[in-house]
């Protein structure tokens, strides 16, 4: 459905995307994660024909078409849908949901009766209350507007739907509802989806996750495979220690089987170690011998948020080491921890 090979995006002297490659099958949900400036939106802009070919190189295919050729742009755009971060960008608040549908489907030359039929199907899937269908959009709740925006993006039955920060502006308690609706749409319509987001919880519904940093693709795999690549297949010990401080964390980090220590609260850490089941009792004994006041301990599987945090930290550490090596090679000051 989408294929990207050795994609580079360059504006003048700025090399924004570096050698990005991935492929996406029909019906998959892809989560694109990374902090601001990671390159997520730039990659999507190439896929949606928003960047001229003179600014990028590589081999790209979207629904079987090459976006480097201008002659393909209109066909690609008719094959894809887009849901912006802000509903203001694709909804007319003074019009009703059904009139919004008429406005947007006229762009695609769709028959009005067919468009209405499709809209009603989508509204029902998305639980948009029937009593709102003929009221002005501005009277709808935030969640209803978000779902209407999704429906508009799908009204022409695109092969691929791009969603920019779909949980932005939604109450924390409702984010899972939005994600659930996206999964429901995916399952019922078999639409390929790209979710571009900072919200790491979105990985819960993704078939594949792409992690980007500074224009480079660090990982592209299932969330489960990425988590399983951690020590002991992602098993973690969550430990609360009274008066936890950096000195204690440094001592724990130095324990032989410990691979990673993450501070996740004022007095709580998550610890990853080799041979978890064998080494956990020994490690706990070590803590008691050190006379640390252990408040609680539980075992769990790391989530995608933890994997993302670890992966980004690894890249930051590599960059610091590389910078230090370059300084030494150039006769500069040595790094002091």
Q: How confident is the model at residue 183 (pLDDT cuts 50, 70, 90)?
A: very high
**Which residue has 């009139």 as its token pair?**
99
Q: How confident is the model at residue 238 (pLDDT cuts 50, 70, 90)?
A: very high
Summarize pLDDT for 72-83 with one digit per residue, the tens: 999 999 999 998
**Cα 284 to Cα 290: distance, rounded to the nearest angstrom:** 10
- What is the structure's pLDDT at 320? 80
- What is the structure's pLDDT at 205? 95
Q: How far is CA 74 from CA 50, 57, 64, 108, 221, in A?
A: 12, 20, 13, 11, 31
- Is there a contact between 82 and 41 (Cβ–Cβ < 8 Å)? no
Cross-strand pairs, 8: 57
Looking at every residue in the chain, the average pLDDT score rounds to 91
CATH classification of 2-222, choosing from 3.40.50.300, 3.40.50.720, 3.10.450.50, 3.30.420.40? 3.40.50.300
- What is the structure's pLDDT at 109? 80
Q: How confident is the model at residue 113 (pLDDT cuts 50, 70, 90)?
A: confident
What percent of the chain stands above pLDDT 70?
Answer: 98
Domain-by-domain residue ranges, the chain? 2-222, 230-312
DSSP assignment of 240-306, as one string?
EETT--HHHHHHHHTSTTEEEEEE-SSSEEEEEESSHHHHHHHHHHHHHHTT--EEEEEEEE--HHH
pLDDT at 15 over 90: yes
Region 243-270: what's the mean pLDDT? 95
pLDDT, greater one: 173 or 163: 163
**Which residue has 């090459």 as its token pair?**
66
The predicted model scores a pTM of 0.85
pLDDT at 32 over 90: yes
- What is the structure's pLDDT at 332? 62
Q: How confident is the model at residue 39 (pLDDT cuts 50, 70, 90)?
A: very high
Region 156-172: what's the mean pLDDT? 86
Region 136-156: what's the mean pLDDT? 89
- What is the structure's pLDDT at 177? 86
- Is there a contact between 41 and 85 (Cβ–Cβ < 8 Å)? no
Take residue 68 and report the two structure tokens written for it: 């480097």
- What is the structure's pLDDT at 49? 94
- What is the structure's pLDDT at 167? 85
Torsion from C-alpha of 122, 86, 75, 73, nearest 10 degrees: -170
Region 310-321: what's the mean pLDDT? 86
CATH number listed for the domain at residues 230-312: 3.30.70.920
Q: Can you give the three-state secondary structure of 81-119, one letter per residue?
A: EEECCCHHHCCCCCCCHHHHHHHHHHHCCCCHHHHHHHH
Q: How confident is the model at residue 136 (pLDDT cuts 50, 70, 90)?
A: very high
Region 119-128: what's the mean pLDDT? 90
- What is the structure's pLDDT at 334? 56
- What is the structure's pLDDT at 94? 94
pLDDT at 324 over 80: no
Long-range CB contacts (within 8 A, 24+) of 26-29? 26/1, 26/159, 26/190, 26/192, 27/186, 27/190, 27/191, 27/192, 28/1, 28/192, 28/193, 28/207, 28/208, 29/182, 29/183, 29/186, 29/192, 29/193, 29/195, 29/205, 29/206, 29/207, 29/208
């Amino acid at each position: 459905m989408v294929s990207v090979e050795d994609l580079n995006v360059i504006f003048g002297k700025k090399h924004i995307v570096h050698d990005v490659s991935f492929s996406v099958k029909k019906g998959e949900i892809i989560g694109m994660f990374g902090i601001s400036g990671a390159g997520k939106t730039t990659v999507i802009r190439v896929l949606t024909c928003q960047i001229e070919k003179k600014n990028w190189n590589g081999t790209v295919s979207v629904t079987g078409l090459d976006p480097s050729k201008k002659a393909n742009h209109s066909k690609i755009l008719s094959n894809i849908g887009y849901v912006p971060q802000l509903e203001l960008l694709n909804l007319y608040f003074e019009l009703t949901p059904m009139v919004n549908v008429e406005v947007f489907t006229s762009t695609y030359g769709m028959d009005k009766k067919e468009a209405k039929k499709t809209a009603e199907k989508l509204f029902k899937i998305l639980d948009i209350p029937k009593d709102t269908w003929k009221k002005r959009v501005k009277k709808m709740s935030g969640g209803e507007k978000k779902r209407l925006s999704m429906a508009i993006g799908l009204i022409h039955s695109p092969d691929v739907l791009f969603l920019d920060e779909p949980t932005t502006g939604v109450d924390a308690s409702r984010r899972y509802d939005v994600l659930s609706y996206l999964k429901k749409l995916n399952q019922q319509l078999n639409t390929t989806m790209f979710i571009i987001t900072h919200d790491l919880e979105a990985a819960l519904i993704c078939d594949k996750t792409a992690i980007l940093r500074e224009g480079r693709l660090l990982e592209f795999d299932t969330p489960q495979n990425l988590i399983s690549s951690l020590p002991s297949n992602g098993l973690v010990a969550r430990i609360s220690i009274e008066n936890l401080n950096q000195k204690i964390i440094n001592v724990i980090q130095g324990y032989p089987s410990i691979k990673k220590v993450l501070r996740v609260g004022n007095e709580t850490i998550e610890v990853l170690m080799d041979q978890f089941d064998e080494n956990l009792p020994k490690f706990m004994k070590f803590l008691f011998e050190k006379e640390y006041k252990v408040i609680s301990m539980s075992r769990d599987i790391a989530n995608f948020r933890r994997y993302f945090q670890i992966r980004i930290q690894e890249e930051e550490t590599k960059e610091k080491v590389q910078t230090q090596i370059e300084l030494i090679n150039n006769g500069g000051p040595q790094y002091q921890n």
